[in-house]
Structure 1
């Protein structure tokens, strides 16, 4: 397959009565790129996907696939493949008939349909399942058949709407890798809609975090996790310790911040200039923090510790701060409840939230 095309949304917006589901939105997906639309319920990610698919008409803006303006085209003329959470397989058809259905609707001859169907089954490692009933398949197998059916027509863009939501945790994790491997091998442009942060980080080249009908940050998974631009993004992508303070000096991309709670001075990464004296918020991931015996860092008291399989989670109390902070450690530390500790972290993992400067 070498049919991948870029996808471009320009100033797309959508209202449902008095509710503005999408504010004017721009998005450009490169050929062979997979982008995850990630956000809470009601953020606009599903509406965006439905507009791309042609199931909803935008109030403003345009949708381009390659050089074609498909804004007003019906779904079947857009050259898309689609996989949904419930798979939408036909229960009265065999596996092979399900996969071949789209080819039959396009008038593809029987011999060609058979060859392409078998090729698609091999691609998802279910070659021996052509004559089976849908009811004989497990959830993971049904998901693969839905994927094969969406790809057999050689679409320009693949749309995935919560495709793994119906699977249990272990199968969902293995299918994340499998879907990603197939997408990379075929080189197909793809968009996945999900509310699962791990799924978005695992499967995409870039993550577009959405809130209130707009994209609030879009970046590579590691960058959006390690360099969130707002409190919402930092907390939505996982646990984050948020500190308030004031900027007291800057050298290059490092800002020295005095914490409001206890006056500790924390070097913090910043991507732009920060006025001296500005109120700021910084985020630090719990797994980046560590306990140490020296005098530097933040003084805290241990509230409790729980074991979470691959790490221990410590809940800490800071003087002058109402909310606890959390430290994740791969080993059980020799610290008792109510024990006094010092906590520090590398400067590079202390991130200034750019949208919170001056607030």
Structure 2
């Protein structure tokens, strides 16, 4: 919580989360980007004939930050630890070690506990000590690096996220600048060229004016062709995804790599509720055209969709996932029962 600017957002988060039976903990006066401060997981071990789960928090190595957020969660059955130390990075990559840049998929074929992925820009990726730690665990596979060099913040949570489906398989949301351009073209063809988009933001304009900005349009089509399409091909192979598990979400990006309208991929799932940015799209007959497009795209998800007014964070170049952090309960099944023979023998690289 950062004062008046996001009070309504915080109140709505609390309302939605607590109606699911979960608890919302508000951090007053602290960092804006709670996701960056820590990564919450769990350890599992046999105890008195049963399997015991215990949440643990990996402290972030953010240079110049006095991160006590991980330690603040310390209590019975909730531990914290750190791996490595903060490092000095060049200005373009100064956020590389924040944990909006470290994520994990839902369970995938061959990876019952999911597959870890992180962002990498050229030669600069996540802290090598953290990457080595992840590799040493083995069970969540060798981590997958994703090119974030074209983004301002260079965090992987700005590009993809996962939601559950009605059919058991997870769905991967991925930003699609091409879908963003097509959405504007659809509106124009339907006669809504004068409709306002990015309503209330510094980038507010009309559909027609956006389409006339060919530099912006071509920049986004370039991103799709050179960055997103190759990434889709890579992740289909790495994560063993079928085409019907991949949802290309309309998005557009400014030249410096910020989300031009609120990023609907940078979202959070909590107990059947999806917290997603209000894209502030064109209002057609009283309904947000971009919201309705998103609802149709995720129709196979078993979620209640909540569009959140996160203009406060959008103006600071972030969204809902960046501003929050979530504790997940561990699986009841002992993880060691899903270990493959090559992991047990130590033969996997």
Q: Which TM-score bucket, shorter chain as reference?
A: under 0.3
Output the TM-score relative to the length of structure 2: 0.25
Scaled by the length of structure 1, the TM-score of the pair is: 0.24
Bigger helix fraction: 2
Q: Name the structure with the higher strand share.
A: 1
Q: Which has the larger radius of gyration?
A: 1
